[in-house]
Chains A and B, each alone.
Chain A
């Protein structure tokens, strides 16, 4: 991995971590029916957009719409990892999609009492994501890793 890729991955990971943990705090306020600040709502929108993009059932190479800093592929991996750890027996994109819908309702202030458990799960997901990104950033700060040099495909690497 080049120095540039490494520093970009590091700062994107830290940035995602801030978002994730801020979202835990904002969701806590929402669940306690406290007034949300503009900052809380911005964080919830950021989390929602991220989950909505990653929860799309069909993979896409279309250009990403929205702020680029949260679209790093390294960041995507962390979100998938956190969701899979939380619901290991369910397709990960379905878990993420469900949480995006819940966040949408939380932003609109239309959570029902029956949503309490699911809202707690969203909070747990972002808490877990906050912890994963903290460890990952530590790893990048202390042990810069080498780049994978060949395909991960089982086929032999090809030469012309």
Chain B
């Protein structure tokens, strides 16, 4: 056997070992009695089977061909299968860290209820603490689509795992957990191709493409004038990346707002309000811009009267934060991105409202329970049941907790983080969430 044959044999033997280890690891999950997301090991197992199947095909192919380019390519594919095993190892590891839910059951039920309204198709939620001080979703739908395509296997029947992380130390911060809704938006956006739908609603796509070409030319010229070399393709790609990512972020804010109303805005301000309001990254618009577009949708849904009426000084402050930053005259990139985002914003709001559909939370829906829920919160009583004996809805509970504590004269902006940090209130809220689900369950015939 020549050197390439030996090399291929080694790669195959090494892959067999890694696959067997990973399979044993995933099988050990079966013994975990309280594992969240039972679909997750299934997804990993099917991927592992696909890796093994592709390895066998490559070995067969190596026997058939004498072409040295083919042999080099087969060795490359085997190395890539090793990489895929590393990817699956990482994904499976996330699953194995989830043996128990460390977050309140009420919140878990709330997020599941919201997922039913926001994410189309059957999902299995996995909620886990993260060491990062941020909420995040790990895009399992997109990741496994890519993996299955790579190893030529079909996705399994049944629910798709949805993996969402929260900052571990914020476990009891129920009010801030409205940010879970933004993460559900990412799942919906990726599963249903919502950013493409937003682009399709731009009023003048051919004209936009002409401006895109002009912007690329101006940005490249700017770099050249500054003595830096950059290709137009690099600029094109990075601009498209930035625009797509910003659209998705704003869409997720809009979906969360459509579902939860102003509770999302208040949670967002409480959690991120201390960041620099004008700093953007390639993946995220500036805080000020996000507040601007979130408020635009809240106002469109009719929340302005409720908010301005109950949270006078606080809303004045939040509205003062929501001023779109203006790029410098020679910032061609900033000018282009911001103008395009503004043109897309009606489409973003429209798609978000359509995605949430009949579950959009409106002032009319809140109005009937508002006074009662807010009074219960002020009295320190978990807002579980209305005088009508009906359970308090979860969105009403979230908003009632905020407005019950903030809706009085003299309430100032510093009360927003104080309310989110009031652990007595958060415990009350968490308890109320759980009890309202129980009450609904008991009331079912």
Residues of A within 8 A of B (CB): 1-5, 7-8, 10-12, 14-15, 17-18, 21-22, 24-25, 28, 32, 39, 58-64, 67-69, 73-74, 76-77, 80, 84, 92-93, 123, 127, 130-131, 133-134, 137-138, 141, 147-149, 151-160
Chain A to chain B contacts (Cβ below 8 Å), 25 pairs: A3-B138, A4-B136, A4-B137, A8-B142, A8-B146, A11-B142, A11-B146, A11-B150, A17-B76, A18-B77, A39-B152, A59-B216, A61-B212, A61-B240, A69-B149, A76-B233, A141-B87, A148-B282, A154-B222, A155-B328, A155-B331, A155-B334, A157-B279, A158-B278, A160-B324
Decide if B79 is an interface residue (CB 8 Å cutoff): yes
Residues of B within 8 A of A92 (CB): 231, 233
- Scan residues 239-296 of chain B and give those whose CB is less than 8 A from a CB of chain A: 240-241, 243-245, 278-279, 281-283, 288
- Report the bound CA distance from A15 to B87 in whole Å: 12
CB-based nearest A residue for B330: A155
On whether A73 and B70 interact (CB within 8 A), knowing A59-B212, A92-B233, the answer reads no
- Report the bound CA distance from A8 to B195 in whole Å: 16
Min C-beta distance of A82 to chain B, whole Å: 12
On whether A73 and B283 interact (CB within 8 A), knowing A62-B205, A63-B196, A158-B328, the answer reads no
Asked whether A24 lies within 8 Å of B73 as measured between CB atoms, the reply is: yes
On whether A158 and B139 interact (CB within 8 A), knowing A59-B209, A69-B146, A73-B238, the answer reads no
Decide if B199 is an interface residue (CB 8 Å cutoff): yes
CB-based nearest A residue for B222: A154
Return the contact of A148 from the options B76, B84, B281 (Cβ within 8 A). B281
Decide if B14 is an interface residue (CB 8 Å cutoff): no
B-side binding surface: helix, strand, loop or mixed? helix
Residues of A within 8 A of B228 (CB): 154
- Report the bound CA distance from A107 to B85 in whole Å: 32
Q: Per-position contact with A for B109-146: 1 when CB-CB < 8 Å, else 0?
A: 00000000000000000000000100011110011011
Min C-beta distance of B381 to chain A, whole Å: 39
On whether A152 and B230 interact (CB within 8 A), knowing A25-B70, A160-B325, the answer reads yes
- Report the bound CA distance from A151 to B65 in whole Å: 49
Residues of B within 8 A of A25 (CB): 61, 70, 73-74
- Report the bound CA distance from A23 to B243 in whole Å: 31
Asked whether A155 lies within 8 Å of B205 as measured between CB atoms, the reply is: no
Asked whether B237 lies within 8 Å of A77 as measured between CB atoms, the reply is: yes
Residues of A within 8 A of B142 (CB): 8, 11, 68-69
CB-based nearest A residue for B208: A61
Return the contact of B143 from the options A7, A28, A138 (Cβ within 8 A). A7
Asked whether A147 lies within 8 Å of B332 as measured between CB atoms, the reply is: no
Asked whether B282 lies within 8 Å of A154 as measured between CB atoms, the reply is: no
Decide if B234 is an interface residue (CB 8 Å cutoff): yes
Residues of B within 8 A of A (CB): 61, 65, 67, 69-70, 72-74, 76-77, 79-80, 83-84, 86-87, 90-91, 132, 136-139, 142-143, 145-147, 149-150, 152, 165, 186, 193, 196-197, 199-200, 202, 205, 208-209, 212-213, 216, 219, 222-223, 225-226, 228, 230-238, 240-241, 243-245, 278-279, 281-283, 288, 323-328, 330-334, 340
- Report the bound CA distance from A131 to B142 in whole Å: 24
CB-based nearest A residue for B337: A151
Return the contact of B325 from the options A7, A12, A151, A159 (Cβ within 8 A). A159
- Report the bound CA distance from A12 to B279 in whole Å: 29
Asked whether B76 lies within 8 Å of A134 as measured between CB atoms, the reply is: yes
- Report the bound CA distance from A133 to B77 in whole Å: 11
Residues of B within 8 A of A151 (CB): 331, 333-334
- Report the bound CA distance from A65 to B74 in whole Å: 31
- Report the bound CA distance from A53 to B141 in whole Å: 24
Return the contact of A73 from the options B205, B222, B237 (Cβ within 8 A). B237
Asked whether B233 lies within 8 Å of A93 as measured between CB atoms, the reply is: yes
Residues of A within 8 A of B147 (CB): 11, 14-15
Asked whether A153 lies within 8 Å of B288 as measured between CB atoms, the reply is: no
CB-based nearest A residue for B140: A7
Return the contact of B241 from the options A21, A64, A73, A149 (Cβ within 8 A). A73
Min C-beta distance of A5 to chain B, whole Å: 6
Residues of B within 8 A of A24 (CB): 69-70, 73
On whether A127 and B73 interact (CB within 8 A), knowing A4-B136, A4-B138, A69-B145, the answer reads yes
Return the contact of B83 from the options A3, A134, A156 (Cβ within 8 A). A134
Interface centre among A22, A28, A76, A158 (most CB of B within 10 A): A158
List the 4 shortest-distance A-B pairs measured between CB atoms, nearest first. Answer: A160-B325, A63-B196, A11-B146, A155-B331
Residues of B within 8 A of A123 (CB): 69
Min C-beta distance of A86 to chain B, whole Å: 14
Residues of B within 8 A of A28 (CB): 65, 67, 69-70, 73
Residues of A within 8 A of B196 (CB): 63-64
Return the contact of B233 from the options A22, A63, A80 (Cβ within 8 A). A80
Asked whether A130 lies within 8 Å of B332 as measured between CB atoms, the reply is: no
Asked whether A127 lies within 8 Å of B199 as measured between CB atoms, the reply is: no
Asked whether B237 lies within 8 Å of A12 as measured between CB atoms, the reply is: no
Return the contact of A59 from the options B61, B91, B213, B241 (Cβ within 8 A). B213
CB-based nearest A residue for B183: A4
On whether A59 and B283 interact (CB within 8 A), knowing A14-B150, A25-B70, A73-B244, the answer reads no
